[in-house]
Structure 1
Amino acid sequence: MIPQGAQISAEDQEEAAVLPSLTYVFQASGQRIGRLQLDGKDAVKQAVYKALSTRRYEHLIYSSDYGMEWSWEGMAGRSMVESELERWIREALLPDDRISDVTEFDFVHEADGVRVSFTVETDFGSFREETEVNMNV
């Protein structure tokens, strides 16, 4: 026998609650974690900084999809370096469900590394971010 007539009315459906993305303030200059809490775009900015500052697979406390993974072995030419950096940054940031896309990459090649800036598109708006990657590591 097949059940019939079971319908969910609009009043029976619950809306999914948007949870805050609260986090403690991390002060990189002083290596301190503050009591104040960040939310929204500021919390995402801090998450981007932490993800790009953490090397993937290096710390057991983080899952295998957290942090940035890079290896310069076998790299030849600026276009390959730029392509791989773009991929590594996107792979580090897109697992965060608050981040919808990472775009507009700009690269500045220096003697010992590459400085890259990019736009992070989030649920709270977009912002520019910059990081440096040392090629001697």
Structure 2
Amino acid sequence: MNPQPDIEEITLPTQTYRVQNGRIISFTDGKDAMRQAIEKILTTARFSVPWLSSGYGHDLDDLIGKSQEYASAEIERMIKEALSADDRVTSVEVTTPVELDKTTLFVKVSVVTLYGTVESTTEVTTNDA
């Protein structure tokens, strides 16, 4: 019987296009690439882009028409679920939502990745007025 060869697990690089104002301007890697990936996940509704996997993006649009209390309770779960789909993310902390007005909640997100911690923010519209 032949012994099984050792299988070494490797982490692929994060090199990707750097996008600024909707235009590709160069390449980026590491923590900056993660910052861009997090921003894209938080601004892309799940199923809104046909060629992306069904696990990519957020479900925050499901909160439209819901009460602010309900939205506040669900935002953390939804953001953690969206960002945790990326295997480079190790943990996600979401602050308690702050009411900006009667239809908008604001949250800060701290994402620990393989390349360092990335801070981000997002606004969630509930149209609860």
Shift of the alpha carbon at 1:46?
Answer: 0.4
Q: Using the alignment, how far apart are the partners of 1:66 and 1:14 within structure 2?
A: 29
RMSD between aligned alpha carbons?
Answer: 2.2
Q: Which runs of 5+ in 2 are unaligned?
A: none
In the alignment, which residue of structure 2 is the partner of 1:31?
22
Q: 1:1-137 residue pairs with structure 2 within 5 A?
A: 7=3, 13=6, 15-27=8-20, 30-34=21-25, 36-70=26-60, 71-72=62-63, 75-78=66-69, 80-111=70-101, 112-136=103-127
Shift of the alpha carbon at 1:25?
Answer: 0.4
Aligned length: 126
Shift of the alpha carbon at 1:127?
Answer: 2.3
Corresponding letter in the other structure for 1:21: T
Q: Which runs of 5+ in 1 are unaligned?
A: none
Corresponding letter in the other structure for 1:133: V
Q: Using the alignment, how far apart are the partners of 1:77 and 1:54 within structure 2?
A: 21
Higher helix residue share: 2
Higher relative contact order (CA 8 A, sep 6+): 2
What TM-score do the two structures reach when normalised by structure 1? 0.79
SS in 2 for 1:60: coil
State the percentage of identical aligned residues. 35
Deviations 1:51-71 (A, max 9, x none): 111111122111111111122
